[in-house]
Amino acid sequence: MARVLCITLNPALDLAFNLEALALGSVNRPTSAQLDAAGKGVNVARVLAGLGHEVTVSGFLGNENDAPFARAFKQWGLADAFVRVPGSTRINAKLAEQSGRVTDINGPGMPIEAEHCQALIATLDTALASATPPEAVVVAGSLPPGLSLDAFSTLLTHLKASGVPLWVDTSGPALNAAIKTCPTGIKPNENELAEWAGSPLDSTQAQLAAAKRLHHSGIANALISAGADGVLWVNAQGAWHATPPKVTASNTVCAGDTFVAGMLHGLLTHQNGQQDAEQTLRFATALSAEAVRHVGVGNPHATDFDSLLQHTRIRRLDDSITEGATR
């Protein structure tokens, strides 16, 4: 299996509540609650490690409450290369209702200073220059206070210069900054892509045209997620659309992170001809669908995962639909 470096600049302790329905202004009694070490890059790392990859996690952690992260990293088999900074890592609340609606209340994160960025770059350079360097780097999540867009762009450019394939999953102005650095892969959702494109993307054809623009701008793998409507993937070999299996969604928080991890797993495992591309996209889409059924990341060992694969539809956009999984 491959070695992957996953970077989370603004991690969090995720406190997830499952509710029948959220009643504003009232006392709510959840049916369950769960506290997890999280952040988009941490979630990606957790899935990749579960799939057998050798994963190192890095970014910024507050030194006042890093114990839950250290325990989780040990439990999940992740190598810890986080830079500790003064303060406490933020806590995010996730309120998931039975209808599938999720309300996020995200903390702002710890202030990051220039010296912290320098320490992070030094840590990452050590990982990239090791005798067994990573075969892919993932930067995922929001930016913490104090980390400017210029500093973020500088970090991405520095990582890209290493020659290791760079994948980025972020949003808002950080997404626009990331696109300008032309990483190997990027995964906005349809709303984030519309902001970048400057116009509504209210059809698959409009989304496909925008994804092709991303690809032609220098991004090898342009992935556009649209929830239950599926995923578009444009690369040098062509364009594909995946439709996930129908599932009852109860918590969508980790679905996108699970998808990114599933894609990387496939790309790092296969040679990526057309059949391998379809297999990769099918696996990632099915695993993401598995994730929305519960709190946490997708589980490829779910008892019905083969069925989820079989009911994931992959269509090459200049070809016919192919049904059924090939594993």
Whether pLDDT at 326 is above 50: no
Number of domains in the chain: 1
- What mean pLDDT do residues 183-190 have? 95
pTM across the whole model: 0.92
pLDDT value at residue 42: 97
pLDDT level of residue 172 (50, 70, 90 thresholds): very high
pLDDT level of residue 283 (50, 70, 90 thresholds): very high
Would you say 42 and 57 are in contact if contact means Cβ atoms under 8 Å apart?
A: yes
Domain span at residue 92?
A: 1-147
Whether pLDDT at 198 is above 90: no
The mean pLDDT value of the chain amounts to: 92
Residue 238 included in any domain: no
CATH number at residue 30: 3.40.1190.20
Would you say 261 and 282 are in contact if contact means Cβ atoms under 8 Å apart?
A: no
Beta bridge partners of 20: none
- Alpha-carbon distance of 142 to 245, in angstroms, equals 29
Residue 198 included in any domain: no
Give the active site residues: 257
Q: What percentage of the chain reaches a pLDDT higher than 70?
A: 95
Would you say 286 and 245 are in contact if contact means Cβ atoms under 8 Å apart?
A: yes
Residue 268 included in any domain: no
Q: Which position has the token pair 């970014």?
A: 59
Would you say 317 and 241 are in contact if contact means Cβ atoms under 8 Å apart?
A: yes
Structure tokens given for 135 = 């075969």
Residue 327 included in any domain: no
Q: Which position has the token pair 């890209």?
A: 160
pLDDT in tens, 79-111: 999 999 999 999 999 898 888 788 989 988 899
pLDDT value at residue 274: 57
Residue 199 included in any domain: no
Residue 263 included in any domain: no
Residue 73 included in any domain: yes
pLDDT level of residue 300 (50, 70, 90 thresholds): very high
- Among 17-21, 293-297, 320-324, the range scoring the smallest mean pLDDT is 320-324
pLDDT in tens, 199-227: 888 888 899 999 999 999 999 999 999 88
CA distances from 45 to 54, 100, 238, 262, 312 (A): 9, 25, 28, 11, 24
Write out the DSSP string of 162-229: TTS-EEEE--HHHHHHHHHT--SEE--BHHHHHHHHTS---SHHHHHHHHHHHHHTT-SEEEEE-GGG
pLDDT value at residue 321: 43
Whether pLDDT at 243 is above 80: yes
pLDDT in tens, 131-170: 999 999 999 999 999 999 999 999 999 999 999 999 999 9
Query: What is the strand order of the sheet 32-38 is part of?
Result: 32-38, 12-19, 91-97, 102-105
- What mean pLDDT do residues 221-244 have? 94
- Alpha-carbon distance of 74 to 36, in angstroms, equals 13
Residue 60 included in any domain: yes
Alpha helices in the chain (DSSP H): 40-50, 67-76, 114-128, 149-161, 172-180, 190-197, 204-216, 255-269, 274-291, 305-310
Beta bridge partners of 34: 16
